[in-house]
Amino acid sequence: MTTDMRHAVFEVLSDVDAVAMRMAELFIEAVQNRPGERIRIALSGGSTPKRLFAILARPEVAQKVDWKRVEIFYGDERHVPVGHADSNQSMAESLLLSKVPLPAEQIHPMPTQGQARDDAQRYQEVMEASYGAATLEKGRPFFDVVMLGLGTDGHTASLFPGEPVLDETKAWVSVSDPKTAPHERLTLTYPAIASSRNVVFLVTGDNKVPMLRRLREGDSSIPSGRIVSEGKILVLADQAAAGEHTS
Residue 126 counted as domain residue? yes
Residues pairing with 130 in the sheet: none
**Residue 247 located in a structural domain:** no
Half-sphere exposure of 61 (CA within 13 A, CB side): 19
Segment 68-111, tens digit of pLDDT: 999 999 999 999 988 788 889 999 999 999 999 999 999 999 99
Domain count, the chain: 1
| 179 inside domain | yes
Does 226 reside within a domain? yes
pLDDT confidence of residue 182? 76
CA distances for 176 relative to 37, 39, 159, angstroms: 33, 27, 7
Question: What are the φ/ψ torsions at residue 169 (nearest 5 degrees)?
Answer: -120, -10
pLDDT at 81: 84
How many other C-beta atoms can be found within 10 angstroms of the C-beta atom of residue 115? Answer: 11
Domain that holds residue 205: 3-238
What gap in Å lies between CA 71 and CA 103, rounded to an integer?
A: 9
What is the pTM assigned to this prediction? 0.96
What local confidence, expressed as pLDDT, does residue 180 receive? 80
Closest CA to 179 of 164, 199, 200, 196: 164
pLDDT recorded at residue 246: 57
Q: Is residue 246 situated within a structural domain?
A: no
Ranges of the chain whose pLDDT falls below 50: 247
**pLDDT tens per residue across span 199-227:** 999 999 999 999 999 999 999 999 999 99
Phi, psi at residue 148, to the nearest 5°?
-135, 155
Is residue 245 in some structural domain? no
CA nearest neighbour of 68 among 121, 120, 31: 31
Is residue 66 assigned to a domain? yes
The residues, any chain, with a CB within 8 Å of residue 9's CB and separated by 6 or more, are: 232, 233, 234, 235
Would you say residue 138 lies in a domain?
yes
Give the CATH number of the domain where residue 95 resides.
3.40.50.1360
> First vs last Cα of the chain: how many Å apart?
41
pLDDT value of residue 242? 97
